[in-house]
Amino acid sequence: MTNASGLLGAPPQAVPARPQVDRVGNSSQGTSQLFLTTALARGVSGVFVWTALVLTGHQIYLHLRSYTVPSEQRHIIRLLFIVPIYAFDSWLSLLLLGGHQHYVYFDSVRDCYEAFVIYSFLSLCFQYLGGESAIMAEIRGKPIRPSCFYGTCCLRGMSYSIGFLRFCKQATLQFCIVKPIMALATIVLQAFGKYHDGDFNIHSGYLYVTLIYNSSVSLALYALFLFYFATRELLQPFEPVLKFLTIKAVIFLSFWQGMLLAILERCGVLPEAQVIEGSRVGAGTVAAGYQNLAICIEMFFASVALRYAFTCQVYSEKKERSPAPTAPMQSISSGLKETVSPQDIVQDAIHNFSPAYQQYTQQATHEAPGPGQGRDPLPSAHPGMDGGCGGGRKSRNVEKRMLIPAEEM
């Protein structure tokens, strides 16, 4: 290279070619190549990701194989899917880190599922306690104890009512609505060059998306705290602490890591770095890369914690006690289909936001379909698999939801 420059007499025209030379020599310059783009970072993160995928995939398989309590297990499986979605999404973002901000699109998918996880966890707690009507029978009329730790100090003098359960559900459901809208807005702003991670300028979309997102997720998490504070004694037999802390840790770690990295970026700790193909990326992109690397590693530990928090043992024992014959593959495919179906979420959203149902509670009942019943006659009913039965649709129980006026509870 030096000889070639001497032959050319070092003309000024050769200066634009220097980034190409620097790009080739990045690996030999300790400060030139970003750690996130090295084979070490990608290899280590890949090992953690694929190990987490195997552990969680096996656990999901066990739940589908012993799909005996659909009302609970569909929410458990949805919660378990947070590991493969978070891990694989973050790993792809890390592999594609560069001048083109592809990670924004992947992170939008990941963040949308975060809203789904918060809702699913609250719904699982509802199912553990027998649904709205059973919860109201236990807590209705009891005074709300003020507590600064749980954020109930402003509810002094109030008592639990159906409005309390409505607020908890509405607060989590609103995040399921707001987050996809913010994800779509992020993609649109990114396409028009109006979104840059870590840019808190008032002319940048990042500031407004972050404010709306933080307000929405804070409200959803506050609702979870309120519900746990009201029902923690009722949830005691279901060991909710480990479940609660595991889910909270996954969500809070990603949230506060992003905030911490944004602060470090504003303080200049994360300078701009020249990376793939000589393109220069901003500190916001570097911060997002480090967050994706951290998530890849954390998901391995999350998969181990979730394995203990949502064990399949109780459902497997129930399946073994069932005298009915089983058809494993048919049972697994039917259970997975029911898990990914958003039908129950749509029904729940209608029930909690429609003014016509504000003073009614839901009560689920399970009935076996009679002879000749090919489909459920009520639009509000939805099918759930009978535990241990693998005979397909004809062997399913029917879960019907009845509306009971709150005054009768």
DSSP 226-277: HHHHHHTTTTGGG-HHHHHHHHHHHHHHHHHHHHHHHHHHHTTSS--EE-GG
Q: Check residue 360 and give its pLDDT.
A: 57
For the ranges 265-269, 295-299, 325-329, 335-339, the lowest mean pLDDT is seen at 325-329
Under the banding of pLDDT at 50, 70 and 90, the label for residue 44 is very high
Residue from 166, 217, 193 nearest 352 by CA = 166
* pLDDT, average across residues 255-269: 76
Q: How far is CA 267 from CA 208, 260, 283, in A?
A: 21, 11, 11
* Amino acid in the structure at residue 65: R
Torsion of CA 399, 400, 403, 409, to 10 degrees: -50
With 90 as the cut, is the pLDDT of residue 50 above it? Answer: yes
What are the φ/ψ torsions at residue 140 (nearest 5 degrees)? -60, 130
Q: Check residue 43 and give its pLDDT.
A: 93
Whole-angstrom distance, CA of residue 307 vs CA of residue 275: 38
Q: Check residue 271 and give its pLDDT.
A: 67
Structure token pair of residue 397: 């129980």
Under the banding of pLDDT at 50, 70 and 90, the label for residue 386 is very low
Whole-angstrom distance, CA of residue 175 vs CA of residue 337: 24
> In terms of residues, how long is the chain?
409
Whole-angstrom distance, CA of residue 225 vs CA of residue 122: 10
CB–CB of 142/159 below 8 Å? yes
How many percent of the chain have pLDDT more than 70? 71
With 50 as the cut, is the pLDDT of residue 164 above it? Answer: yes
Q: Check residue 358 and give its pLDDT.
A: 56
| DSSP states along 290-305 | HHHHHHHHHHHHHHHH
Tokens 């936001």 found at: 353
Q: 241 or 300: whose pLDDT is higher?
A: 300
* Amino acid in the structure at residue 83: V
Residue from 305, 294, 323 nearest 387 by CA = 323
Q: Check residue 273 and give its pLDDT.
A: 60
Whole-angstrom distance, CA of residue 80 vs CA of residue 289: 24
Q: Is the dihedral of CA 292, 298, 303, 307 positive or negative?
A: negative
Q: Is the dihedral of CA 172, 177, 180, 183 positive or negative?
A: negative
Mean pLDDT of the chain: 75
Which residues, in sequence order, are bridge partners of residue 362?
A: 403
With 70 as the cut, is the pLDDT of residue 83 above it? Answer: yes
Radius of gyration of the chain, Cα coordinates, nearest whole angstrom: 26
Structure token pair of residue 250: 């996954």
Q: 254 or 304: whose pLDDT is higher?
A: 304
Segment holding 191, helix H or strand E:
helix 162-191
With 50 as the cut, is the pLDDT of residue 262 above it? Answer: yes
Whole-angstrom distance, CA of residue 326 vs CA of residue 359: 41
What are the φ/ψ torsions at residue 365 (nearest 5 degrees)? -130, 150
How many percent of the chain have pLDDT more than 90? 15
* DSSP conformation class of 278: G
204: number of CA atoms within 13 Å, CB side? 12
* DSSP conformation class of 391: S
* Amino acid in the structure at residue 104: V
* DSSP conformation class of 367: E
Residue 301: exposure state from Cβ atoms within 10 A (0-12, 13-18, ≥19):
middle
